Structure 1
Amino acid sequence: MTERILYVGSYTHRDSEGIYIYRFDTQTGALRHEALAAEQEHPSFMTLHPQGHILYAVGEDNEAGHVNSYAIDPASGGLTFINRQPTHGTAPCHLVVEPSGRTLVVANYYSGNVAVYPLKADGSIGDPVQNIQHHGSGPNQERQEAAHAHSTTMSPDGSRVYVADLGCDKVMIYRLVNGRLVANDPDHVGVQGGAGPRHFDFHPNGRNAYIINELDLTVTVCAFDAGTGALDPIQTISTLPDDVDDKTGLSTADIHVSADGRFVYGSNRHHDTLAIFSVDQDSGRLTAAGHASTRGHTPRNFTIDPTGAWVLAANQDSDDICVFSRDAGNGQLTPVGDMVWAPMAVCLLFGP
């Protein structure tokens, strides 16, 4: 199969109406808009059920957040609304489903809490069973006045959930026990003050993990103990070129490790680049390997396609998607084709 479905989530300002379907050719890198899949307010982050038949999307409302479920048509990729649940918080911005498909975890950014839901056999979202409030702050008085849960990441074995909290300069660690979150021991890892951890990804070697820090534009490299769930920071590296002195208005957003574990990529908003790092295969440490312009403004989320040959970046403020070919040997990214219209695109998710 050379053509894959790509779901594009957005903020529903300007011309955007919700979740869109695109078609991506994995041989040529051609991307084309197909249709509006679902009208929904601010579907800023999405994920799939492990079986691939359901799509879940947050509704990033600043007053009353919600999370939605959609059935996926296996032939067309079209979405049919199933149900919606409140997140009991404001600005839900990230979510994850554990591998058995029985539990959904949502991070609420502004209110700094995490909501936990059972998933029913038909993929619908049950009533929330847990609401965990984070507490704390950081030295950045404008952005870290309180807790701000920013992402939820499942451990490779599905036994733990890692919640990056930008406001507290911590990644909180929870064990998943019978569909509920229980504080792990240790219960968090801290990053440097004012860093603002945002997103998080594991290395396929099972020994390392990477935290991208929004406020100080760095990546924290951690040694990972799969037995205890502990993270031990071993390196901090900038996502910007050495010649960038003025960081005013700049921030990072997303991070991904290539499937072969040789490269890590991170997005720089307002610098409008993807940072490229090579990975030391023994230690997991990073070495800067370059930057690729996204040819637009404010790259937020990006994704590596299932073949590993392409990277697609969503430019929120220029309403478009940049497609790159990826050199598996050196990790470098080369833009291909024309920019593709995508209104206020902030999340890219390949379908099943």
Structure 2
Amino acid sequence: MAGTTARDGRRWAYIGSFTQAGGRGLTVAEADGATGALKPVYSTDVVPNPSYLALSPGGDVLYAVSESDEGAAAAFSLADPARPEPLGAPVGVRGDGPTHLAVAGARLLTANYGSGSVSVLPIRTGGLLGEPSAVLPHRGSGPVSDRQAGPHAHAVVTDPSGRWVLAVDLGTDSVWTYALDPVTGDPVRHGETRLRPGSGPRHLVFHPRGDRAYILNELTPTVTLCRWDAATGTLEPAGEVRVVPPGVETACYPSAPVVSADGRFLWAAVRGHDSIATLALDAPGDHAELRHTAGCGGHWPRDLTAHPDGTVLYAANERSGDVTWFTVDPDTGIPAPAGSIAAPAASCVLFA
């Protein structure tokens, strides 16, 4: 139900932030139905550093990582979508610095950056979280000594078929694939896809058709285009494209990719360059061309999210402390600034 209209006809956005950097924790904002403009209505800091958020399949429970040295995950009831209520206390994930999470059937999975692992938490009746049933460690390293001395799982994503989980590891320059056991629902290691050494993969997003995947790299300002075979759980790199123009000398750290609902465009937020890149995809989704870069409206865009109707993009600008939104030209895909709200240490935007 992610991206559907709330029961009373209103649309809600949930903003995560770093409380240790002055963030409000979890903020709820009402989204204008015509313009996509956000209006904050509530916030709670009951969970420290809820830096990334995910919804249950029914849209009635909101999950958050608590990104800290001793990481945790938390659940919130959305019985009142304007005022999320905690469902029990946060549960430790037995991993350090969880940065991302995903719901896979009756499991919540977290990507633990600090410890380079994926944790598996059972989802109980009503959305409550149980203690981790498994922690899946990654192994390996990369050539960038200060960032890749060991594994750093940064994102965990379920594929559109619902049969697989892909964990993106910045430290090992690879994507780890897990099969979801059809009986137990637990993830079982299936394979590892190696990417270019030193690329530092951070996040992954699927083409709406489900047979292509795009991996945004953090240590080089590029996106890796991949073919995805859901029948065999095979990820095949097919090319790499820059997300900043040639000649850019600023240190760039891409953060979050978004693909348009029609599969024509890929957008990427780039920290340091503080920009949103617009790339045009060909019909098969195998090739991309950088068409435009625009300012993100602030500093250090940690997350980029599309409105469910696809007409607005939202950048969570962590260091300038705002969420800025952009209207998207339907023909060119180029975003134009349309408004912003204050959101200290913003790290994530999620619609429900």
Q: 1:142 aligns with which of 134, 146, 149?
A: 146
Q: 2:47 aligns with which of 18, 40, 58?
A: 40
Please give the TM-score of this superposition, normalised by the length of structure 2: 0.94
Q: Report what 2:97 is aligned to.
A: 91
Contact 1:90 1:108 in 2 (8 A): yes
Q: Is the aligned partner of 1:190 residue 2:190?
A: no
Q: Report what 1:80 is aligned to.
A: 85
* Letter matched to residue 323 of structure 2: I
Deviations 1:298-333 (A, max 9, x none): 001111001111001010000011110012221110
Q: Cα distance, 1:127 vs. partner?
A: 1.9
Q: Is the aligned partner of 1:104 residue 2:108?
A: yes
Matches within 5 A, 1:56-71: 56-62=63-69, 64-71=70-77
Contact 1:38 1:79 in 2 (8 A): no
- Give the alignment's Cα RMSD to 1 decimal: 1.3
Q: Cα distance, 1:161 vs. partner?
A: 0.3
Deviates more, 1:83-92 or 1:43-52: 83-92
Which secondary structure state, in structure 1, belongs to the residue aligned with residue 261 of structure 2?
Answer: coil
Deviations 1:260-279 (A, max 9, x none): 11111111001111111111
Q: Report what 2:329 is aligned to.
A: 327
Which secondary structure state, in structure 2, belongs to the residue aligned with residue 122 of structure 1?
Answer: helix
Q: Cα distance, 1:189 vs. partner?
A: 1.1
Which secondary structure state, in structure 1, belongs to the residue aligned with residue 165 of structure 2?
Answer: strand
Deviations 1:98-126 (A, max 9, x none): 2x4x1111111011011101111210011
Q: Is the aligned partner of 1:50 residue 2:57?
A: yes
- Work out the percentage of aligned pairs sharing the same amino acid: 36
Q: Is the aligned partner of 1:343 residue 2:344?
A: yes
Q: Cα distance, 1:240 vs. partner?
A: 0.6
- Any gaps of 5 or more consecutive residues in structure 2? none
- Any gaps of 5 or more consecutive residues in structure 1? none
Please give the TM-score of this superposition, normalised by the length of structure 1: 0.94
Contact 2:207 2:285 in 1 (8 A): no
Contact 1:164 1:197 in 2 (8 A): yes
Contact 2:91 2:131 in 1 (8 A): yes
For residues 319 and 42 of structure 1, what CA distance do their matches in structure 2 show? 14
Corresponding pairs, count: 342
Q: Report what 2:174 is aligned to.
A: 170
For residues 264 and 143 of structure 1, what CA distance do their matches in structure 2 show? 26
Q: 1:227 aligns with which of 226, 231, 243?
A: 231
Q: Cα distance, 1:206 vs. partner?
A: 2.1
Contact 1:136 1:147 in 2 (8 A): yes
For residues 118 and 39 of structure 1, what CA distance do their matches in structure 2 show? 22
Matches within 5 A, 1:153-168: 153-168=157-172
Q: Report what 1:311 is aligned to.
A: 313
Q: Cα distance, 1:73 vs. partner?
A: 2.6
* Letter matched to residue 159 of structure 2: S
Q: Is the aligned partner of 1:209 residue 2:223?
A: no
Q: Cα distance, 1:3 vs. partner?
A: 4.2
Q: 2:12 aligns with which of 5, 15, 27?
A: 5
For residues 285 and 254 of structure 2, what CA distance do their matches in structure 1 show? 24
Deviations 1:55-84 (A, max 9, x none): 00000012x11000110134x421111122
Would you identify which runs of 4 or more consecutive aligned residues in structure 1 move more than 4 Å? Answer: none
For residues 73 and 345 of structure 2, what CA distance do their matches in structure 1 show? 19
Q: Report what 1:21 is aligned to.
A: 28
Structure 1 residues 163 and 14: CA distance shift in structure 2, 3 A: closer
